[in-house]
Structure 1
Amino acid sequence: MTDAAPTPPEETYSYLGPAGTFTEAALKQVAAASGKHWRGVNNVGEALADVTSGRSTAAMIAIENSVDGGVSATQDALATVPGLRILGEYLVPVNFVLVARPGTALADVRVVNAHPVAYAQSRGWLERELPNHGHIPATSNVSAAASLFEGSQADAAVAPPGITDHLDVDVLARDIGDNPNAVTRFVLVSRSRELPEPTGADKTSLIVELPDDEPGALLAMLEQFSTRGVNLSLIQSRPIGDALGRYRFVVDVDGHIADERVADALLGLRRTSPNVIFLGSYPRADEQTVAYHSKYDDGIFIEARDWLRGLLSGEPD
């Protein structure tokens, strides 16, 4: 008997597995991924390696949480792994349940297995209801629950609400997340250079390094956006790693690179920054139309360039 042929890369999508994770829930929102092969991986690095090596056509990764902010491992990977583009963003509401092996009571729980992010987001409940518990970190929310059947010293696990669809566990408590409005933002990352068409409700992601560590350097970067009426929906600093005090900035702006105001801001950044990484322009997950003052309409920028061209070419006024 011969081995089955490997799944073609264009038919494969990578995500943080195993089945049942919030990352899988985000991938379920991607119409193009429906019916394709989904490859569960252990971490962001492995997911992006699948994309850069050609094993997968795209990877779904978490990039931001409404409670904890940016996911540093993702932001650093996007800054250092070349050739990646974001095709779209997806939002997943996040809450958790506490589960255990059948027959376990809440009073029996002494040690809890949980992914560090899940643990941080449910720590208030755990400390209130299980004040003397210990914590064992897990690689994913689903693997935390699976470990209960793999010789783990944990008595219970923090897991996604749908975990009972995948494992024979008892739910000891529901809605244990400390913030009922918690949402995680995921992005679909690929090597594709094809830009989604602008919709009027778009976002552009960048990573920018400052040219110098001097007073006003960050202000000069921000002015590239403010003077063109471009709103920032996220700005977060991450250490470059080559020396203390050296940082790069992860930036999300409202708008598409095809919008004149955004394109002009990127030109300004490129003139002043030693390194600008364009991660993509894509539709906003919330579909909210980007609002801006009419003085930043595309036609205003186009007319200004035409005026300058006329001056340079000697056209009559």
Structure 2
Amino acid sequence: MSEFALHHVPARRHAPFLQDAASTMAIVVLGAVGYFLFPEDLAFLTRLIGIAFLVLSLDLVTGYCGIATLGHAAQFGVAAYAVGIACVRGVTDPLALLLVGVFAGTVMGLISGVLIARFRGLPQLVLSIAVGQLVAALANKLQGLTGGSDGLSGISPGKVLGLYNFDMYSRTAYLFSLTVLIIVFVALSRFVRSPFGLMCRAIKDDDLRARMIGVAVYPRLIIMFGVSGAVAGVGGALTAMSTGVVGLDSVSFERSAEVLVMLVLGGAGHLWGALGGAIIFMIFEHIVAAANPFHWMTLVGLLLIGIVVFAPKGLIEPVLTLFARIGGKGRAS
């Protein structure tokens, strides 16, 4: 082995650990900024984290598998309703409710995957919309469970670890959600770099070639839908616990379309793109809607047009290019 190779083997071996550590530190820094600089907006930031989980879950099937879907909010909403129903009926431990959300989201994800992943192109997109609309119709119809158009209220989770109450300022909810985000983000970073995640990227690039080399495409897509549902379920569970109410908006077509816009804004196929897109879109929407309640959608539309024209691969792509150039200069020197 050459001297160059011997020098770089340890670096390659520790690269995943360094990436995970950098991701953890970045999220901690962003979370600390939100907690200390915007203490009066913690409820909004907690809701942002919940939606960020939904965008991350959408990135798994759209960015990494190339599956077009406009009904992804179904997984988020089903988990939120499941957590709300469980909490109202006596399950109040936040960790137990989180597991309920993960389970409900996973089941809904697998059901969606079985139906949607079998098709390609326009039929796939239409079927995803149909699944989302069916879930929304059931949520509206089953008033005894979901509260119908009035929503499911009275969700009061217990103390986190038996110590910390969900206070009215959302401090506990924010810190709890931020901790879960760090854990899930690091786990997803490892997952998308695994052989399974890399094979899903290959399926996205050329599913026919993947089949030709013996890859079972359909089962892998179903599994990815299940993982995606679990991530969306985490977001739904956290949102239900932090807001105390679940409404039809959690399973609406508008929610599915909105998170797809966030993913396009940040950049599909990159976890940081999904997370960054959610942060930028929701903060921009929050500020603009407060400044101009009547025409804020126009400004959001102009932002999206500018992103699509000048950064068609999302805002993450210029950032990655910049880091690559900095890294190249560092190695050259």
- TM normalised by structure 1 equals 0.23
Which protein is richer in helix relative to its size?
A: 2
Between 1 and 2, higher relative CO (CA 8 Å, sep ≥ 6) is seen in 2
Provide the TM-score with structure 2 as the length reference: 0.22
